Structure 1
Amino acid sequence: MCRLSYFFWSHYYAKLIELQKMQGNLTLEYAKLKARMEVLQKNHKHYMGEEIDALSLKELQNLEHQIEVALKNIRSRKNQLMQESISQLQKKDKALREQNNELAKMIKENEKEMVQETQWGHQSYDLNSSTFAITQAVDLSSISMGGTSCQASLENGEMEETARQSHAVVMPPWMLRIN
């Protein structure tokens, strides 16, 4: 039992020493972290312009230099972001211009098609009206309908018709087909 007891106590003592070392390290680590936190809080106050009355000339110059470097980094990052933004906007502008050009081409093509369709319609109308004029220009003196006889003569491009009977029958042009 003595041996067991010796083994137990020696192991226990080794663990105790190890824990004390760790606790000492933790106490030292805590003190370091606390000091670092105080320095950071003090620097933060200095950067904010607070509690700078107690600073020496060299400390003020050092603080000013740190602030200038920080501002330079901030401005550099801001310029980089603005350049990226400008680049993206230029790409969007280019894409929109291309889309606008395509739409303008489509509009012009549609307008051309509409003009062509309108011209074809006018040409068709002109053909029909010239056919009508030719039909009217033909001597209608031989045509007799329903007891009505019409005489026509072409003078200066105008048609003159006279009815032989007292009641005149007016015929629409489409009925006047000459074979």
Structure 2
Amino acid sequence: MKTIVYAHPWDGSYNHAILTSITENLETKREPFQVIDLYKDGFNPVFSAEELKYFHKGETPDQLVKDYQKKLSQSTELIFIFPVWWWDLPAILKGFIDKVMLRGFAFLEDKNTGALKGLLTNIKKTTVISTSTTDKDYIESEGGNAIQSVFINRTLADLGLKNEDTKWIHFSRVNLTTDEKRKVFLNEISQSI
């Protein structure tokens, strides 16, 4: 089962066009998929004091988090769609990682070394699709590259989503490009998923 984690608040965005293109193609091919739409679901990325009481036990009182964990447990492929804001993931997506990827569900920690062992090994392929108003090369060279170096190579890998099974596809200059280039990308991205 493919699971799409979508993180953009506006239905008129290019990110939403990417989501629509992919889901329509999957429906046409009759491939099973599910969407985690963080904004539409009203996901709260901020930990409350009550939630933190459970965090170190790998538990949560948040039913939406439990629902997301169930969806991830059913997944064999994960697709993230989000804009790059301030060189990084949107806060809601960072909060999704913080609150959903709990000890015992997404990872175990070695008590002696602190090393993490990822548990999301049911997910065999991960695709990260991002957009920004700047070039991917600039994102990669400036600010330590929060997407590739931190999100993909560190966070996702620590959850068991290995780098060799993860692909990052970025649409640059989303605000300055032509409608024709946008259409070509939508067609290419929907065919590659």
Please classify the TM superposition score into its range, dividing by the shorter chain length.
under 0.3
More strand by share: 2
TM-score by length of 2: 0.14
More helix by share: 1
Task: Report which structure shows greater RCO (CA 8 Å, sep ≥6).
Answer: 2
Instruction: Give 1 or 2 for the bigger CA radius of gyration.
Output: 1
TM-score by length of 1: 0.15
